Structure 1
């Protein structure tokens, strides 16, 4: 019984409360069920208010949530939930009206009026903040913040919504760079609670696109990834070696689509079927040169490419190594 009760309390805190703040697909029935969960939490908090072990266990588990609360907070769980519903500006008008009716019934008109006043103040502060951000002169900061907010909002609405958001963003110019900047922010905020982190979901999405050759986004994502600056590549591959391995495998497949053509100047590598190739020979040189500069990855890239040279059709990689080394010397 104890485990079931704790599971139910954590469900309210980890699932229902965050959903009340960000989900849009609420209706009268789901509002009623959520409020019933709140009533259940209030009953449990009263029943176990003198159970010290229960309170300590709940407090320890509560720290793992973005919406951390104390056992005492559960005594007014419905009021807390309704307050968050009232603050949710994404609800349909008819649902907002129903929330108002439920709040009047559950906590009374006086407290309901206070909750609405707090919501108005919060909305006003939010508008002021957005005005400040709009006037910011640092475009890159605005863009990163906007991307973060967009991806977080999609993530809080569910995995499918996040996938749709990333799919739309990657089709924009610099869209992939904007998405990967969120991964960079996650790494910079190393001490942040794991519930804030978006990079695992983004990496999972990126791996899915790269491995699905039939995906309409595959060509653009791979090509964009191969033309990122070394600094951003470093953020992508740091701690995500699965993406690095996928990329190296893909580069080798693209290299095998090239054939040698000889002219008066020597040998050049051209695609056997241009419509089937995503990367040119020069693209391979550029991405390999960039990979050599990525901390913690450059050595692995060098070893992998040397192994490619020994495979059938690996002659192209010998030329890639030669030209990449020549470019490095020019930069020095």
Structure 2
């Protein structure tokens, strides 16, 4: 403390030099460090450095998190896309399978209906033929039996055993006597054959048998009948009979089954005097061919059924 010029006292607040203002106050100077730089500036720079480093760390962490998030999203997106694709593929396969099942079921049902219609038409033809056999006159019937026996001898040979039904024994016996005059050696079997009419010839050693009954002849026509009816069902015209490979005597090559020769459909049926469905049963000569007869009988039945539906 010291006295001023007016005799008053003045208190010094700091030992550092200062300058007096007009009001007589001393202006203080800011403290300095050893380097002469202000404390506030150093603190500011230190804070800025810390903030910068912190910002870099935060930015790095954010970038890393962003990269991980993008990778995760990409992976999830890929997995989702694959899952959706597999689901769509499985759905398409299931739809295709269901479509095939429905189509197959419809085709099978249609095929079954067609087969049923074919068998019904063939059955009608058989019934017509059997009805005409029953109505044949004695003279026509004897002529038919003689023709069937002669045809069987041409296949088996002149020496054979002849079987027939009980009601046909008299007619067949007379036909055998007539053929034996032509150096044939035929013998009539005592055992009866269950048939509407016709004969069954067996070779002496029993290895070859030729069934030439009315039922057997019609049975051999079944493949041709089915083909004719199938053509009509398809909306077309009946096709002519299929010609096969002919063997000796004008017959198709026979097949051996269980020691017996089973005759296949042959052209002799078509070429013989019994060339119609009616003639096959009763040997009634006619100008109509087999396929024309089939068209009239089978096609007529099919058209009647169509008209009812």
- TM-score normalised per structure 2: 0.20
- Point out the structure with max Rg over C-alpha: 2
Larger strand proportion of the pair: 2
Which fold has the larger relative contact order, with Cα–Cα distance below 8 Å and residues 6 or more apart in sequence?
2
TM-score normalised by length of structure 1: 0.19
Higher helix share: 1
